[in-house]
Amino acid sequence: MYNKKIFASLVCSALLTVGVQAADIKQGGTLNVPIITTGFVDNYNPYTTKDVFHGIMFEPLMVFNNMTGETDFRLAESAGYSDDLKTITVKMRNGLKWSDGSLLTAEDVAYSFLLTKENPAFDSKGIWSGGNLQSVEVTVDNSVAFTLAKPDSTFIWNLEKYHILPKAVWSKVDNATTFTNPDPVGTGPMTQVKYRKSQQMELCRNPHYYLKGRPYLDCVSFRSFNDNSQIQPALMKGEVDWGSNFIADIESTFVKRDPDNNHFWYPANDAIHLYLNTKKVPFNDLKVRQALSMALDRELIVDIAAYGYPTANFNAGGIGELYEKSINKEISDRYSHLTEFNQDKAGVKDVDGDGYRDNPDGSKLEFDIEVVTGWTDWIQVVQMVTEFYDEIGIKSNVKTVDWAVYDANLKKSEYDVAINWSMVATNPIIAYQEYFSSSRVGNSWHAGHGVNDAEIDALIDSFGQTGSPEEQKAILDKLQVFTAENLPFIPLFSNPTWFQYSTKKVDGWPTKENPYVQPVWYDGGKRVIILNNLHLK
């Protein structure tokens, strides 16, 4: 929990590879990374490109490192709350420059956040739509003040997710949501577009990066792949250095081919659920939701569909292994029957005798489970889920859709059932905000299930109004009970952090022995920390 004083600034350059001195690190080289996409287009707008450029072309203000529990200040030098927890003051580093050499000031930062107010599609964390943020203003000493309507000690965690953009460029744009930013000006370690092709794109060193001597690498080369099955042979052949996707039978297919250089590390990550649209029949019936949960053998799903890499999640309270310290075991045990594999308690009936169960009105009980095309591991999981449902006479179908359709359907609640993750953040209260806060409905993949309550909104909001660990624990306990009693999503497993890497050419990776950050490619904050440590072997 953050106190009211200014946080002590961290020295970013202290994150060096264990056993390697800065003077010994080689400069140069290119990192090859895979991206699952249909291809690259001439668009460098960080808000319309699935955050491909966050932490690479655009540096965050700060990073809340959930692996170490520390705050890594990036563009910001420090940040802190007023005594009443209603004002956050972010002090910027002096002498920052954009990649074109112009000065980056607090004025750019304030403008960047106001831009997301003018363009709600950019308000990814709902800082404006939530209603608490009242103003963002430049103050003395190259600082920015975020003024809140009410105390919220969790609000600062949102700031790292927004992109800092040059006011000189973006203020002249007529429509920011369609702007492709063709001549990008950024702050991250790799800002120069060396080339862009349909299936490959290369970004190279920022000539004005604020950390002296960083990045060590010259460039990052993105390669486009349609799905996980194409990434696996690329890793095996050494065509990519960093994998962040599911790879089948990793020990045999990757590690054994070059055990000295091919490695993986799978620390705990997000909890994976089947989100149920309770606005639709039959998911509006709690007993049906419970039956669907008890119909699944989680351990078998993990072992067969996911090769044993995840950890089966039997906690109906909404959080998994990543937040193990916050799980109330007594509450988890109280509701353990909801995640027990017990198909005899399915509780829905076959009315017309066709072998499949029916809705209470006699209509056929059939639904689709949405998953993104190309996500082979989750497609296997969903396929196995449908087989379990078939065993109890419930007809369900695997529905693969493109990312854009999946993204829209979950946010608009236009789905039956969908497999999706949970929020990974500094504290599990953020996961519960994403699940239940009314302000997140329509803006989050996790909040479209239809279970919302004004009292729960108030309970979630109260977490940020106290600095007492005991009171915060009590709030989390109540949220676990609420989740288990309403079951808007069915827990499946705790996902591992998919992380495969090669040390044949590049070193400096986070490892189990040197866990300086959670190795997540798709998180810009974590990604920029790793990029600042990677170097030629």
Residues 284 and 165 in one domain: no
Strand partners of residue 396: 367
Contact 411, 442 (CB under 8 A): yes
First to last CA, the chain: 38
User: Is 351 a member of any domain?
Assistant: yes
**Tens digit of each residue's pLDDT (9 = 90 or more) over 7-25:** 433 334 344 444 455 667 8
Residue type, 381: V
* Gap between the Cα atoms of 261 and 318, Å rounded: 38
pLDDT band at 350 (very low <50, low <70, confident <90, very high): low
Rounded CA gap, 339 and 292, in Å? 10
* Range with lowest mean pLDDT among 197-206, 228-237, 411-420: 228-237
Same domain, 162 and 200: no
Question: Which residues are paired to 491 by β-bridges?
Answer: 273
Average pLDDT over residues 346-357: 67
* Owning domain of residue 234: 190-267+497-536
- At 351, the amino acid letter reads V
Co-location of 426 and 531 in the same domain: no
Residue 370 shares a structural domain with residue 438? yes
User: CA 140, CA 138: separation in Å to the nearest integer?
Assistant: 7
The values of phi and psi at residue 370, to 5°, are -85, 140
Whether residues 244 and 326 share a domain: the answer is no
pLDDT given for residue 2 in this prediction: 40
Do 329 and 371 lie in one domain? The reply is yes
Out of 28-32, 153-157, 329-333, 463-467, which region has the weakest mean confidence (pLDDT)? 463-467
CATH number where 198 lies: 3.40.190.10
- Domains identified in the chain, total number: 3
- Does residue 26 lie in a domain region? no
Supply φ then ψ for residue 49, to 5 degrees.
Answer: -125, 30
Percent of the chain with pLDDT over 90: 76
Q: Same domain for 89 and 214? A: no
43 and 104 co-located in one domain: yes
Q: For residue 2, tell me if it sits in a domain.
A: no
**Are 364 and 275 found together in one domain?**
yes
The 3 state secondary structure assigned to 432-497 is HHHHHCHHHCCCCCCCCCCCCCHHHHHHHHHHCCCCCHHHHHHHHHHHHHHHHHHCCEEEEEEEEC
Say how many C-beta atoms besides its own lie within 10 A of residue 348's C-beta.
20
- Asked which of 92-101, 269-278, 361-370 is least confident by mean pLDDT, the reply is 361-370
142 φ/ψ sector (left φ>0, alpha ψ -120 to 50, else beta): left
What is the tens place of the pLDDT at every residue in 48-69? 998 899 999 999 999 999 888 8
Q: Which amino acid is at 80?
A: G
Q: Work out whether the CA dihedral 478, 484, 488, 492 comes out positive or negative.
A: positive
Query: Is 531 in the same domain as 459?
Result: no
CATH of the domain at 335: 3.10.105.10
